[in-house]
Amino acid sequence: MFKAFARRAVLAAAISAVAFGTMGFQSNDGQDRRVRIINATGVTMTHFYASNSGQDDWQEDILGQDVLPSGQSVRINIDDGTGACLYDFKARFADGDELIRYRINVCQITEYRYTAG
């Protein structure tokens, strides 16, 4: 039991370090753009992208070499330094599914849940 808990804690810390390192910019408008991404799909999330809705392409995979197992969450600083609040999210899963959501206002939400179905 303790080993499983410790492994989850290490995974969460590793993903958080990647997430905060990847999007480590800070806008000067006082808005909090940190969002908890929750994977409640029943399938492991292998990639996660959050790109300013004004961009034409996806930024780098925030999870990097880590994954987000179903039932787990990670808090990500979405701030890219531009002051934008609207971001597009793309998640890829181990079963090949890809979910894209457009124009998520990260200045107004504190969590985003991916669910099955």
Sign, CA torsion 103/109/112/117: negative
What does each C-alpha distance from 3 to 6, 7, 9, 15, 56 come to in angstroms? 5, 6, 10, 18, 43
Q: 36: domain CATH number? A: 2.60.40
pLDDT per residue over 15-39, tens digit each? Answer: 444 444 444 556 666 678 999 999 9
Read off φ and ψ for residue 38, nearest 5 degrees. -110, 125
pTM above 0.85, yes or no: no
Q: Average pLDDT over the chain, rounded to whole? A: 83
Q: State the residue range of the domain holding 62.
A: 2-115
Low-confidence ranges of the chain (pLDDT < 50): 1-23
Q: What's the pLDDT at 28?
A: 65
Number of domains in the chain: 1
End-to-end CA distance of the chain: 30
In the sheet with 111-115, reading across from the earlier edge strand, the strands are 73-77, 34-40, 111-115
Question: Is the separation of the CB atoms in 9 and 57 below 8 Å?
Answer: no
